[in-house]
Amino acid sequence: MGLFFRDRYRPRLMAYLTLIVVLFSPGLILADDCRRVSNILVLFDASGFMKQKGRYEFLMQQMHFFSRAMPLTKDGFFNVGLRHYGLKVGMGCENTESILAVRPWDPERFINSFPKTVSYGVSSLAAGIRGAADEVSGLQGKTAVVVIGGGLESCKTDPINVVEQVCANNPDVEFHTFQIGNDIDGRYWLSGIATKGRGTYNSTDGWNSSAPWYAWMKRYLVVPCAPAAPAPSAPGTAQALAPVTFDYKSVSVKSKNPQADAANRAALAAVSQTLLTNPALRVVLHGFSDGKGSPEVNLKVSQQRAEAVAHYLISTYKIAPSRITVTPHGMVQSLTQPSAVPDDRMSRRVEFELRQ
């Protein structure tokens, strides 16, 4: 019996221990950016519209990408919650429900909170927005409500007006919208919500990796914690430098994908030029893995990838080893990728953080 429990719970225990080590080790400063918003509430469409043509499966794919893109900032992860509208048949136009309270980020709990099989009901985007506003009204700090779905409203209510009223009463709340499908009415509602909600409208058409989510999060959810480097030409933060990404099961900065290989060489050249023209700067290399395999393997691979980037900077651009620090994060920002989700390079990356 003891062996059974040890074998069953050891992988999860190791994952938690890895997370604790990364987040609380005094020598590990996670990134040179901080949270602009404290909380994220994902409001997803589970109405009849999402039942057609595999749209709900596409939503789940995007949520896996969302999970892997979540940035780790200097002040930790965001608090994240999850609610739906239009999930159950027969509940009418007030059909909206919180299924994960806003709480410290837990990718496994986030993904597992989504219903596996659902009975789709009436679409009431306005009701979902009102429910989201009620949920975040008592939270501390800024909150970004991420609305993702078709954008349709079936209950003769104007969701744009609802958002305008919500934001007038809640200056710390903003609405960002992500459309699934290309319905014209859905685009009208979602773009209007983003405009009145001090947010952004995004079409997920063609989003086939976590890279678009990662770029959006970096641009709209975080801010630099400290001023940039003195030299105007120096990017000065991890936020301004493109990461190096890796092929599956690879720890080499060289990629078999020509586009990825060119992007890696450009990223390495950019950070090297910054270091060479700013002798007072040093760089921290943050390594990440895609979450496949055990936590021990993921931590080791993320270490090897960061070391490969360090070796390249030293051997190719003659950057002094004393100016480079390697920080592995393992699978902390990643989630085991199901077979239905396409290969994703952004989970396998090394980010650059410049420091004085």
Are residues 241 and 211 both part of a single domain?
no
Are residues 173 and 266 both part of a single domain?
no
Are residues 71 and 169 both part of a single domain?
yes
How many domains does the chain fold into? 2
Are residues 168 and 265 both part of a single domain?
no
Token pair of 46 as six digits: 């589970």
CATH code where residue 88 lies = 3.40.50.410
Structural domain includes residue 23: no
Are residues 237 and 118 both part of a single domain?
no
pLDDT for 342 equals: 39
Structural domain includes residue 199: yes
| Short-list 160, 206, 214, CA closest to 181 | 206
pLDDT for 343 equals: 52
Are residues 41 and 62 both part of a single domain?
yes
pLDDT for 240 equals: 58
Structural domain includes residue 321: yes
pLDDT for 25 equals: 34
Q: Which residues, at least 6 apart from 64, have a Cβ–Cβ distance to it below 8 Å?
A: 111, 210, 335, 337, 338, 341
Task: Report helix, strand or coil for 82.
Answer: strand
**Residue ending a domain, choose from 217, 239, 266:** 217
pLDDT for 226 equals: 60
Buried b or exposed e, range 4-18, using 16+ CB within 10 angstroms:
eeeeeeeeeebbeeb
Are residues 244 and 183 both part of a single domain?
no
pLDDT for 309 equals: 96
Structural domain includes residue 158: yes
- Per DSSP, helices labelled H in 98-221 are 107-112, 125-136, 159-169, 184-196, 211-220
Matching residue, tokens 């678009």: 212
Are residues 171 and 245 both part of a single domain?
no
Structural domain includes residue 251: yes
Structural domain includes residue 11: no
Residue ranges of the chain whose pLDDT lies below 50: 1-30, 228-239, 333-342
From residue 156, how far is each of 123, 152, 153 by CA, in Å? 10, 11, 7
Structural domain includes residue 14: no
Structural domain includes residue 4: no
Rounded to the nearest 5 percent, the helix, strand and coil shares of the chain are 45, 20, 35
CATH code where residue 282 lies = 3.30.1330.60
Are residues 55 and 163 both part of a single domain?
yes
Task: Name the residue range of residue 153's domain.
Answer: 31-217
**Residue ending a domain, choose from 161, 183, 217:** 217
**Residue ending a domain, choose from 217, 236, 259:** 217
Are residues 211 and 270 both part of a single domain?
no
